[in-house]
Amino acid sequence: MSMKQSIENAVQQYLAAWNTKDPSEVKAGFKKCLSANCTYTDKNTPAISGIKGFTDFVAASHKATPGRLFSLRSEPEYFSNKGRYFWSVSFPDKPTRDCMDFFEFDNDNFITAIVGFV
């Protein structure tokens, strides 16, 4: 698999995990794309770290906004173990929100850090 395919797969797997409701499947999805100590931050959320932190964050998101759906809007752009991609989240009763994530990844193409612009 090329680096491009690997990075694209990691981002697609990450967003797919956000759309999954079963916590064990969410955790398994994150293990395929995130490093064990991956971090997440955005202006609205306390810092998240580790697979368990991400898994708990997804569960809380499903509880707070049932029916929301994440979608990738662009191929990831990346260089020097850093990148970005655009995504959106749709809600059953609110307008769709367009967002962007900046991410860093290691030499095995696992995501190590995400900064969300939501």
Q: Which domains does the chain have, with CATH numbers?
A: 3-117 (3.10.450.50)
Contact criterion met (CB below 8 Å) for 112 and 106 = yes
Burial class (CB in 10 A: 0-12, 13-18, 19+), 37: exposed
Digit-coded pLDDT (tens) for 19-54: 999 999 999 999 999 999 999 999 999 999 999 999
pLDDT at position 15 is 98
If you count them, how many residues does the chain have? 118
Contact criterion met (CB below 8 Å) for 50 and 40 = no
Pairing of strands 34-42, 45-49: antiparallel
**Block residue for tokens 């409701």:** 21
Digit-coded pLDDT (tens) for 91-104: 999 999 999 999 99
